[in-house]
Chains A and B, each alone.
Chain A
Amino acid sequence: MKLLVVVQRYGAAINGGAELHARHLAEHLARFADVRVLTTCAKDYITWRNELPPGETELDGIPVERFPVAQEREMLDFARRSRTVFGAEHSVADELAWMDSQGPTSPALVNRVRALRHTCDFALFFCARYYQAFYGCRAVPEKAVLVPTAEREPSMGLAVVGQVFRGVRAVMYNSPEERAMVEDLTGNQSVPGTVVGVGIDVDRRGDPARFRARYGVTGPCLVYVGRVDRNKGCAELFEYFLSLVRTMPAAPTLVLIGAAVMPVPDHPRIRHLGFVSDEEKFDAIAAATALVMPSPFESLSMVVLEAWAQARPVLVNGRCEVLRGQCLRANGGLFYDTREEFAAALRLLLEDTPLATALGRNGQQYCRREYAWPVIERKYQSMLEALSREPAPSPARMAPLPGWFARRRRNLPAAATRVAAAATSLEAGQERYS
């Protein structure tokens, strides 16, 4: 079986969630398929500047073809177009212009996908909201298997994105919540889909003593791994944590791992370690009383899975349906919506060791059951084999873009409004697929 993996960025030093997902998946699918990766020359997901050389290289035994990005992202233009399509009535032309503005605009990559359509069996497209997935799926809809990594964000309410979801061969979701949201927003129930997620190394263990010795962290600690960013809920985390510290003398140390794009409060109980190696990350998680994930938008948190793999409980933002759903399904962590819930849940984890242990153990079992690589590989294999057995559908299944006049008719509602309206049916969706 020949597979294309099409992703916006790819490389050993690229640690974005979806990109890491794509890389790990490509490496594991390569065991039973001939995998080729198509990506751009960009390293920065904000500017999409061409920083890597175009052409074919090999990474961990997998051929990787890179294509230049035709235009870097202009932030002002992107912000203006985002305001238009997310917050006001707009046209299909506006949405297409938004897609181009967002990038990574690489027509060469899309042309290459089109050229390989007869030589590959399937093409896995990552991140439905990006240019390469949108135009790639439109180029080879009969071969397109979409890994949307969709979050509850306004771009999911765009009409053109919905067309892609309805036109591909299959969709591989990360969580039941994601599937429910996508189906509610796009009405793609007829498209084959399954909840898969991403595999993790469930046997990898960190060394807590090494971490504590290296960084001088003593006592209980709460670990956050990821970009220290307001959009990731870190501002709220700092606020909640500092208010807890004021009332709790035995409060834990909050250890932050990852690049900071917002100021980190200067407090003796908050330690920002910056970017660390994988080994140190695993050591830190092993040393943690609990891992905290304050992000309100996640399609699947790999860090949470890594914490569970080491039998550590997690404390997550309850406003993120995916994280909350994972905690409930795994019985592996607590969640919070308010400051008081944060304090109460953290106190429980800190003071009730049997509970924390039980939650961590539950999470570990859940991880082994659902996210071990053999499980993920098997799910992909069965889906691709099932699709292979089916007759290939007509490419006309993907609805064509409207004509010149229809494209400019401003009759589409604000995307953010659509996404917000779909929130009500989430509970039903969770029940449907959990």
Chain B
Amino acid sequence: MADNPSNRGQRGFHRGRRGPDRRSGGSRGNDRSSERGVERGNERGGERGQDRSQDSRPQAGGPAPVRTDNADVAQIMREVRTRIAQRHGITLTDQHVEELAARRLEAVLDVRGLSPELLDQLRRAAGNRSVDVPTGAQAASFEFEADTLYDTPRGLLRAIRRVLNPILKLFFNPEPLVMALNQQARLNTAAAEREAERVAQQAEWNALHYALLQRLTSELAKLSLEAQHLTQQVESLSAKVDFNDRRVRGLEGGVHLAEVRSAPTQSPRQQESGSPAPAASEGGSGDGARRKRRRRRGRRPGGPDLPPGSGGPQMGGGEDSDGGEDDGPDEGPFADSGDESGPGAGEGGYRERPTPEPVQAEPTVHTQTGSAAPSDPVEP
């Protein structure tokens, strides 16, 4: 079983998923779950059928902990909410968003040099619609009638004035004066009422403007958070694409390498049976090139001592193939390709642009055909 190439490939594949791909399949902080949330977990569950319900381990992307009989509702609801938040791209509560928006609002107002008093006034107006405004009656609290000129709270004085009034009228006519003052009182009242109405309207407008401003900043805050999240998602997806690209190239390289390895093992038998090797049949320089290559390999540290399937440093996963128990007996073409996408390569796939390591595998094909010997990549 251990020597079965397909099994080795399987192990190699799993080791490869130690990288970002495996993380992306996790239930938290992943892209797929944020794309499809709960549905994905359930669809996967549908695919896996009964095994899924028996598996007590957390399932990637799905509502795994609820499989057991002791379903924990609090945990399930936390997961549901987390997934919804991830799908939205905003893990903040509304209150947090409001606080963020309030800070942004203040920053905007500061930049524009708005006085703090005005901001306070706006806030007060938003919170309290009942603004104290002078009413028309308060502003013009007197009425000017014909006898207002002669009025007094003292009765005796009022009587004397009434008696002397005809004498006063001998000197001038007070009627136009009374009429003018009366008119002025009415105008005052009307103006005060208009002013009160204007102030009230202004207060309402202020409140409305402040509320609008608050909502706009809240929406802006939400949108910017969402944009931030989407940017991260795009970055993550592009990293994943790069990583997959590398992995595909690594696998291709591994396949070609296996073909290359199989060629030397066949040739002695072919020689024994008297049939010429394909490389030799293609060109006379083939054996010489192969010998040269073997010599160069032999000069490399550990080159000739490596087991036949190890692939050597040529695979670009040298560090991975050196250490770790996992790397021991299973190493072969598939295992090497797995190493290619292993911890080092996998994590690097998220952090940096892919290095052109797998391209090394392509010239080996040329070596096999003997047509690309000058560009042999193993040249130190």
Contacts and interface: CB of A to CB of B under 8 A. Distances in A.
A351 interface: yes
Interface residues of B, number: 24
Given A341-B84, A345-B80, A352 B63 contact: yes
Contacts of B68: 358
Contacts of A355: 63, 66-67, 71, 76
Contacts of B69: 358, 361-362
B71 A328 contact: no
A354 interface: yes
A352 B64 CA distance: 10
Given A352-B42, A352-B63, A358-B68, A327 B73 contact: yes
Interface of A: 318, 327-328, 331-335, 338, 340-341, 344-345, 347-348, 351-352, 354-355, 358-359, 361-362
A243 to B, nearest CB: 14
A351 B46 contact: yes
B81 A341 contact: yes
Given A334-B76, A340-B84, A354-B53, A348 B63 contact: yes
Nearest to A318: B77
B39 interface: yes
B74 interface: yes
Nearest to A357: B69
Interface centre among B53, B71, B74, B81 (most CB of A within 10 A): B71
Nearest to A329: B73
Contacts of A318: 77
Nearest to A351: B42
B73 A359 contact: yes
B38 interface: yes
User: Which 10 pairs between the two chains have the least Cβ-Cβ distance?
Assistant: A351-B42, A358-B71, A355-B66, A354-B53, A344-B80, A340-B84, A331-B73, A344-B38, A358-B69, A359-B71
A245 B161 CA distance: 90
Interface centre among A331, A332, A361 (most CB of B within 10 A): A331
Interface in B49-80: 53, 63, 66-74, 76-77, 80
Nearest to A330: B73
A141 B307 CA distance: 93
B71 A362 contact: yes
A335 B73 CA distance: 9
B83 interface: yes
B316 interface: no
Nearest to A353: B53
Contacts of B83: 344
B77 A334 contact: yes
A348 B73 contact: no
B156 to A, nearest CB: 45
11 contacts: A328-B73, A331-B72, A347-B38, A348-B42, A348-B66, A348-B80, A352-B45, A352-B63, A355-B66, A358-B71, A362-B71
Contacts of B77: 318, 334-335, 341, 345
Contacts of B42: 347-348, 351-352
B12 interface: no
A315 B46 CA distance: 22
Given A341-B84, A347-B38, A358-B66, 17 more contacts: A327-B73, A328-B74, A331-B70, A331-B71, A331-B72, A333-B73, A341-B80, A344-B84, A345-B77, A347-B39, A347-B42, A348-B63, A351-B46, A352-B45, A354-B53, A358-B68, A362-B69
A354 B39 CA distance: 16
A307 B152 CA distance: 85
Contacts of B286: none
Nearest to B74: A328
Interface string B108-127: 00000000000000000000
Nearest to B88: A340
Contacts of A335: 73, 77
A351 B45 CA distance: 9
A332 B73 CA distance: 7
Contacts of B46: 351
Contacts of B76: 334, 348, 355
B19 interface: no
A354 B76 CA distance: 14
B16 interface: no
Contacts of B363: none
A347 B37 CA distance: 11
A328 B76 CA distance: 10
Contacts of A362: 69-71
A141 B164 CA distance: 80
A362 B70 CA distance: 8
B129 to A, nearest CB: 16
B77 to A, nearest CB: 6
B35 to A, nearest CB: 14
Interface in B26-42: 37-39, 42
A351 B40 CA distance: 11
Contacts of A327: 73
A308 to B, nearest CB: 13
Interface string B86-125: 0100000000000000000000000000000000000000
Interface string B207-251: 000000000000000000000000000000000000000000000
